[in-house]
Amino acid sequence: MTKNLESSDLHQHYATHLGNVTKDNQVIATGDIRNTAGVLVAAKNTRINQQIAEKIARHKLLIPLEQQIALEKTCKVEQELFALPSHPEVKVLIENGVGVEQFQNHGKALKYYPLLLQKLTVLKASYPEIYKKAVMGAYVALLISLERNLDVKTSSNIFIATLVRDIGLLHIEPKIVMGTGVLSAQDWLMLQGHVSIGYHYVRLENNIPNVIPRAIFEHHERCDGFGYPKQKFEHQLSLEGQVVAFADSFIGMFYKYIFALKYPFKALLPIMQFNAGAHGIENTDACIRLFGKLVKSYKRIHSNQELAVLSAKIPLRHKHINEWFVQAEILNAGLSSVYSGAAIVRSTERISWLRRLLTRSGIDDNRFVNWLKEVDFQSISDKEVEEIEQYALMLNEMSWHLNELRKVFSLIITHLQGPEEQVSEYKDIYRILKAMMGHFKADLL
């Protein structure tokens, strides 16, 4: 893996990102930058502007670019907590000082890792929203570490790994990183590669504890084996990797529902319980305990009229989810007869897990949908409001899981071989499933 990375052109996109940094920062070559043929590309002490960065991007380099440059200014991670997106419950956390001192101490300690600071500074310049999620993720991971009473060294390693978990994205084509809509199978594989790339570059840092690059490599793994890149199970994952993965998953939900849509913290509780065990029961329990202490009430976000509109959409989404899943079971059974790769094992296990999830959540029966028909939206109670809003969020989460299953099917279909008639039949079913995903494009909000 390392050999392949070193021989690739991964620095090209990073060099391009450096052009963004040079707009309000100085980037200096700390040594002669040469290509693999030994030809000088930029001399020592050269101030790298956008034009020179583009020139560097056209060459395969003898030494990784990040080891041959220095930034005049680097980001001040210890100050970033106070610049997070505004949300009243986040403000309560920070104003009450929960984890703030520890965050600042760990942030200041990054001065001992100049390569990581360099990467974070470039990340902030090129992908400011991803950088904010990195900061918030590090804060959440720190809070989980504190709630679990993990020692300072372990908490520090978790903090750093969470903060730099996505620096591999700086070495992937930006249009894939920032792409919207359904990614192709090839694009998806390239995007998944950011964990391996991040692992490789973090290991270039002097004196970095081995567990930090390992945790970065594991931050999209799941304890149930449905993650990537190695589909590891809980007993194969480091403690640090599990906490980083939990924080990464939590931040995805947090940004979508809390920051963007102004749902209260408590709205995430059923979703965390819905996914309990994916990233370690201890982490889920710690998060639920933590926010249970800090958040006492549920604040609705829909008016009665808006809630009536939302409730009218729920039965159709419920119907589409169950119809999609039936077709997915048919497709998976068929593919199992003609395909024997590792992906079919993953899809079969995920089908089984999703079936249990559908049953446990009640999404595979009509009880909630039938109850909705009896609700009087003129005199609806606070408890009923909470149940409807949270059920809609669970349907959104299930829709996301179905799309993850679709991605696995996409990889299988891409490499499918066998009798033409059978292959054509399964490709037709996949096309139907892909088209049906259009029902899930708009979240129930």
pLDDT digits (tens, 9 = 90+) for 317-358: 999 999 999 999 999 999 998 888 888 988 998 899 899 889
Give the whole-angstrom CA distance, residue 358 versus residue 90. 32
Examine the domain organization and report whether 107 and 179 are in the same domain.
yes
Q: What is the mean pLDDT of the chain?
A: 89
Examine the domain organization and report whether 230 and 319 are in the same domain.
no
Domain that holds residue 312: 304-440
Check residue 92 and give its pLDDT: 75
Summarize pLDDT for 82-97 with one digit per residue, the tens.
877 567 777 777 777 8
Among candidate residues 53, 71, 89, the one where a domain is terminated: 71
- In whole angstroms, how large is the CA radius of gyration of the chain? 24
Examine the domain organization and report whether 41 and 103 are in the same domain.
no
Q: Is the pLDDT of residue 227 over 60?
A: yes
Check residue 198 and give its pLDDT: 96
Residue 445 falls within a domain, yes or no? no
Check residue 95 and give its pLDDT: 76
Task: Sort 420 into a burial class: Cβ within 10 Å, 0-12 / 13-18 / 19+.
Answer: exposed
Q: Is the pLDDT of residue 130 over 60?
A: yes
Examine the domain organization and report whether 246 and 262 are in the same domain.
yes
Examine the domain organization and report whether 109 and 155 are in the same domain.
yes
- Residue 286 is inside which H or E element, if any? helix 281-294
Examine the domain organization and report whether 9 and 103 are in the same domain.
no
Give the whole-angstrom CA distance, residue 117 versus residue 21. 13
Report the pLDDT averaged over residues 50-78: 93
Among candidate residues 294, 324, 357, the one where a domain is terminated: 294
Examine the domain organization and report whether 253 and 131 are in the same domain.
yes
DSSP conformation class of 35: B
Contacts with 295 (C-beta within 8 Å, 6 or more apart), sequence order: 89, 264, 265, 266
Which of 277 and 203 is assigned the larger pLDDT?
203
Examine the domain organization and report whether 171 and 45 are in the same domain.
no
